[in-house]
Amino acid sequence: MKSAFPSFPMPTFRSLKSRIAALYAALFAVVAAVLMVLVNSGIERFGEASASRDLAANARVFDEIIDLRARQMRASADVLARDFGFREAVATGDAPTIASALRSLRDRSQASAAFVVGLDGSLIGDGQTATPPLEAIWYNLDDGIEKGTLRLGGVLALAAASPIEAPELMGWLVLAAPFDEREMARLAELAAVETEAAVLGEASLTPLLADAGLGEIVEADDPARNLYHVSALPSLQEGIEPRLVLRHSMAGALAEYARLKYVLAGVALAGLALMVGLGWRIARGITGPLSTLDEAMRRFGKGEETVVRVETEDEVGRLASSFNSMFAAIAERERQIVHVGLHDELTDLPNRKLFAEQLDQALARRDDRERVLVAYCDLDDFKLVNDTLGHPAGDTLLRKVAEGLTADLGKALIARLGGDEFAVLVVVDDDQASLLPIARRIQESFDRQVDLDGYTALCSASVGIAVAPGDGENGTDLLKHADLALYRAKREGKSSFHFFEPMLDQEARRRRELELELRLAIKNGEFELYFQPLYSLAQEKLQGFEALIRWNHPTRGLVNPAEFIPLAEETGLILQIGEWVVREGCRAALAWPEALSIAINISPRQFAAPGLAATIMQALADSGLQPERLELEITESVFIADIEKTLGTLHELRDLGVRIALDDFGTGYSSLSYLRSFPFDKVKIDQTFVRDLNDKGNNAHAVIRAITTLASALGMDTLAEGVENLEQREILRREGCEFIQGYLLSRPVPAHELALLIGTEEMEGLAGVVV
């Protein structure tokens, strides 16, 4: 609970230090208290025992002293009792002489009374002092008691009797002295312990003393804690039972020990203070390093670099060094985590995040004379390497590229943005210099031969470049514009670079618009199939038609596939469009004479997508078209993907019973080798070769011949695309090409114009013209 009062800086037990010190102090206090109690009760018991002992001893001493005194008096009395004159006076009953002798004896012996008791029952005193009643003492004297206590005028007195003989007993001479206070004080002085003594008649005893047995010690319930010892004194007088009462104050006796107690208490207090101090010190010895560690922990928690000083070799010291190792390990791990978070694992280059950060910093730091160049780079045909040589080879290639870039472009910041994309950041401090050499240098840094497990891969990249100021003021814009420039570079042909221009931005916007329009076109059914005849030179007749898509754009009119197929391919819309073409193509072909087949283009994305075979089977089933009348045209680019998968799909399609043609043959990378990988039904030689036939002095003839020879050796048909004139047709026929396609026969025409071509005079006529 929180106190409503202001808190003062007083030691709280919340700290370990005060708790340890307090514990020590408390322990000591308990021990000291127990000791004090024991000592106290020990002192008490000892005091009591020794007082009792002393008191008993005193009683004996008193008895002895009293006896001694009695004997002294007896001796004094004896002298007179034996005196001849005195005896005579007694014998004669000469009272004045006796009284005079008694007075003199009394004075001499410092007694208070002296008298003669005659055997005959007479009592003669000195005439000055009191005497006891005769009958009270006579019998005792007659019994031979010679010493004892008497009561003289209300005062108890010690008396001694001496027989007076002449020679027969005539009487007794009694000498008495009172147990007065002086006498008692004198006795007390002789005692070993401070004792007060009194002789009391039994009747005057307090109830406590009256009840106490003789020789016992009783303690009075008074503040002085008096101890009493009562003993009987011999009595010479009938009717009195004299008691010697000794009193000793326990409190007084113990008072002497009180000092000892104070000393002990002082020692205990000093010990306690020492213990608190010691406990504090020990606690500080323990908690001091703990606080240091605690403080270090706190600082470490705040992210400060922390090292604890190791001062001892004990547990605390070891703990401190463990802390240090822990701090170091955590810091290192943190560094690694940060590193991992900002670097690419494979190449250890900065990742996109770090690149973006550094780019922002470079832009923020940039002064007016500086330019910041961002190059967005994408490896050409990396997928090919990955798919043909495997991912480990792809990884190796990426690592080698990264190493090469680091070595070549030392000063630039190089990052891997992901996949086969890299980025380079260069700060150019000359605002006039051309950036072309830098662009070229970056692009050429990718051009290298990389040895991958015995294969030599030719590496290259396309590079898009954006420069601040101009192409964007922030990192995001710059990167985006560099990416647009890269897109353009890729399309212009691989292994090239392209600087960003505002036009690219417009193009990109245009692409986005086009994408939207394409989606609408799919929805609104704005596509139409055109058909172009495929003509057999060998048999001189129409073999079938290739379906070529057209887009009836609501405002732009007829749009050619070259303008939208690549975007449809990029965005994946080709899947929907392609399916429509297959269905529409099959449906259209069913209306043609059975001898005519239909060729349908399958784009790479469509080919790679799962379910192509199913789509085609469904279209065949729905239309009722025989599979052998359907020819699928694929391009070499499908081989860029995983070759195993490609072959799998090809076989799957072939199993449907359809024919498969390799389109645009010769434009790819290692065309001839693809021919051997799968038994295509037809090879369509790309129109560039056909175009070249007209130019003398190139080897287009030889290329055509090579293709037709190899294809026929492999059992494949050959078709030449883009045949526009008779000369081309003749050469092709000569070089062994069996089929042709091109404007020479017909441009692609809409379905309703097909009837004119199919089996009509026109077509034959046309063929006739051609032939």
Residue 660 as a binder of ligand C2E (CB under 6 A): the answer is no
User: Using the rule CB under 6 A, is 581 a contact of ligand C2E?
Assistant: yes
Q: Does the protein bind ligand C2E through residue 396 (CB under 6 A)?
A: no
Identify the bridge partners of residue 200 per DSSP, sorted by sequence position: 243
Dist CA 57 CA 70 (whole Å): 20
With contacts defined by CB under 6 A, name the span among 147-155, 408-416, 428-436, 545-553 that binds ligand C2E.
545-553
Q: Provide, rounded to whole angstroms, the least separation between the CB of residue 664 and Mg ion.
A: 4
Q: Pairing relation of β-strands 717-720 and 739-740?
A: parallel
Taking CB under 6 A as the binding criterion, the range among 49-57, 91-99, 457-465, 557-565 that sits at the site for ligand C2E is: 557-565
Q: Which does 560 bind (CB under 5 to 8 A by kind): Mg ion, ligand C2E, none?
A: ligand C2E
Pick the closer one to ligand C2E by CB: 477 or 569.
569
Least CB distance from residue 605 to ligand C2E, whole Å?
A: 9
Q: How far is the CB of 506 from ligand C2E (least distance, A)?
A: 24
Residue 694 interacts, among Mg ion, ligand C2E, none and using kind-specific CB cut-offs from 5 to 8 Å, with: none
Q: Within 10 Å of residue 384's Cβ, how many Cβ atoms?
A: 19
The number of residues making up the chain comes to 771
Nearer to ligand C2E, 482 or 548 (CB): 548
Considering only residues 669 to 708 of the shown chain, the ones binding ligand C2E according to CB under 6 A are 687
Nearer to ligand C2E, 102 or 634 (CB): 634
- Does position 58 interact with ligand C2E (CB under 6 A)? The reply is no
Distance of alpha carbon 20 from alpha carbon 15, whole angstroms: 9
Question: How many residues of this chain interact with ligand C2E, rule: CB under 6 A?
Answer: 24
Concatenate the DSSP letters of all residues of 486-504 into one string. HHHHHHT-SS-EEE--HHH
Question: Would you state the structure tokens that stand for residue 743, as one six-digit string?
Answer: 């404007």
- Indicate the residue among 91 and 749 with the shorter CB distance to Mg ion: 749
15 is an interface residue for ligand C2E by CB under 6 A:
no
Least distance (Å) from ligand C2E to the CB of residue 529?
Answer: 7
**What is the rounded distance in angstroms from the CA atom of residue 462 to the CA atom of residue 498?**
8
Nearest to 421 by CA among 324, 337, 503, 487: 487
Which of 128, 312, 560, 699 lies at the binding interface for ligand C2E (CB under 6 A)? Answer: 560
Select from ligand C2E, Mg ion, none the partner in contact with residue 724, using the beta carbon and a kind-dependent cut-off of 5 to 8 Å: ligand C2E
Q: Give whichever of 664 and 735 is closer to Mg ion, judged by the CB atom.
A: 664
Nearest to 55 by CA among 242, 177, 220: 220
Rounded Cα distance between 1 and 332, Å, is 42
- The least distance separating ligand C2E from the CB of residue 606, rounded to whole angstroms, comes to 6
The nearer residue to ligand C2E, 461 or 565, going by C-beta atoms, is 565
C-beta separation of 548 from 722 below 8 A: no
- Output the smallest distance, CB 631 to ligand C2E, in A: 11
Which range in 308-316, 618-626, 739-747, 760-768 contacts ligand C2E by CB under 6 A? 739-747
Strands (E), 554-622: 557-559, 597-601
Residue appearing with tokens 């038609």 = 545
Residue 476 binds ligand C2E (CB under 6 A): no
Q: What DSSP line would sit under 510-573, residue for residue? A: HHHHHHHHHHHHHHHT-EEEEEEEEEETTTTEEEEEEEEEEEEETTTEEE-HHHHHHHHHHHTT
- Radius of gyration of the CA atoms of the chain, in A: 70
Q: Using an 8 Å Cβ cutoff, are 205 and 245 in contact? A: yes
> Judged by CB under 6 A, which of 94, 360, 724, 764 binds ligand C2E?
724
The reply on whether position 636 binds ligand C2E by CB under 6 A is no
Tokens found for residue 475: 């990192």
The listed partner (ligand C2E, Mg ion, none) that binds 562, CB under 5 to 8 Å by sort, is: ligand C2E
Q: Which does 379 bind (CB under 5 to 8 A by kind): ligand C2E, Mg ion, none?
A: none
Give which of ligand C2E, Mg ion, none residue 742 binds (C-beta under 5 to 8 Å, depending on kind): ligand C2E
Residue nearest to ligand C2E (CB): 742
Q: Which residues contact 732 (CB under 8 A, 6 or more apart)?
A: 537, 690, 693, 704, 720, 723, 740
**Footprint on this chain of Mg ion (rule: CB under 5 A):** 601, 633, 663-664, 721
Per partner kind, with CB cut-offs from 5 to 8 A, the member of Mg ion, ligand C2E, none near residue 507 is none
Question: From the CB of 689, what's the least distance to Mg ion, in Å?
Answer: 11
721 contacts ligand C2E (rule: CB under 6 A): yes
CB of residue 736 vs ligand C2E: minimum separation in angstroms?
Answer: 20
324 vs 637, beta carbon nearer ligand C2E: 637
| DSSP labels, 700-753 | HHHHHHHHHHHHHHTT-EEEE----SHHHHHHHHHTT--EE-STTT---EEGGG
Identify the residue among 116, 397, 548, 641 touching ligand C2E (CB under 6 A). 548
Strand pairing category for 461-468 and 497-499? parallel
- Bridge pairing between strands 371-379 and 461-468: antiparallel
Residue 663 CB, shortest distance to Mg ion, in Å, is 4
What is the per-residue DSSP string for 293-330? HHHHHHHHHTT---------SSHHHHHHHHHHHHHHHH
**Residue 346 one-letter amino acid:** L
Residue 713 touches which of ligand C2E, Mg ion, none (Cβ within 5-8 Å per kind): none
Pairing of strands 155-165, 169-178: antiparallel
Stretch that binds ligand C2E, among 295-303, 337-345, 462-470, 718-726 (CB under 6 A): 718-726
Q: Which is nearer to Mg ion, 138 or 639 (CB)?
A: 639
How far apart, in Å, do the first and last CA atoms of the chain sit? Answer: 109
Per CB under 6 A, 561 contacts ligand C2E: yes
- If residue 246 lies in a helix (H) or strand (E), which one and from where to where? strand 242-249
Question: Of the candidates 54, 471, 483, 663, which one interacts with ligand C2E according to CB under 6 A?
Answer: 663
Q: Binds 631, which of Mg ion, ligand C2E, none (CB < 5 to 8 A, cut-off by type)?
A: none
Of 256-264, 272-280, 709-717, 722-730, the window that binds ligand C2E (rule: CB under 6 A) is: 722-730
Among candidates 276, 718, 350, which has minimal Cα distance to 535? 718
CB nearer Mg ion, residue 465 or residue 744: 744
* Residue from 562, 624, 676, 715 in contact with ligand C2E (CB under 6 A): 562
483 versus 633: smaller Cβ distance to ligand C2E: 633
Residue 742 in contact with ligand C2E, rule: CB under 6 A: yes
Query: Any idea what DSSP says for residue 368?
Result: T
Determine, following the binding rule CB under 6 A, whether residue 664 of this chain makes contact with ligand C2E: yes
Per CB under 6 A, the segment of 278-286, 303-311, 389-397, 544-552 that binds ligand C2E is 544-552
Q: At what angle do helices 391-408 and 382-389 cross, to 10 degrees?
A: 140
Q: From 19-27, 148-156, 256-264, 541-549, give the range in contact with ligand C2E by CB under 6 A.
A: 541-549
State in angstroms the smallest separation of the CB of 678 from ligand C2E: 19
Where do we find the tokens 């609501």? 554
By CB atoms closer than 10 A (0-12, 13-18, 19+), residue 259 is exposed
Q: Tokens 């007065």 — which residue? A: 180
Show contacts with ligand C2E in window 477-536 (CB under 6 A): 532
Q: Which is nearer to ligand C2E, 249 or 543 (CB)?
A: 543
Q: How far is the CB of 720 from Mg ion (least distance, A)?
A: 10
DSSP 410-475: TTSEEEEEETTEEEEEEEE--SSS-SHHHHHHHHHHT-EEEEETTEEEEE-EEEEEEEETTS-SSH
Residue numbers at the binding site for ligand C2E (CB under 6 A): 532, 547-549, 560-562, 565, 578, 581, 601, 603, 633, 663-664, 687, 721-724, 741-743, 748
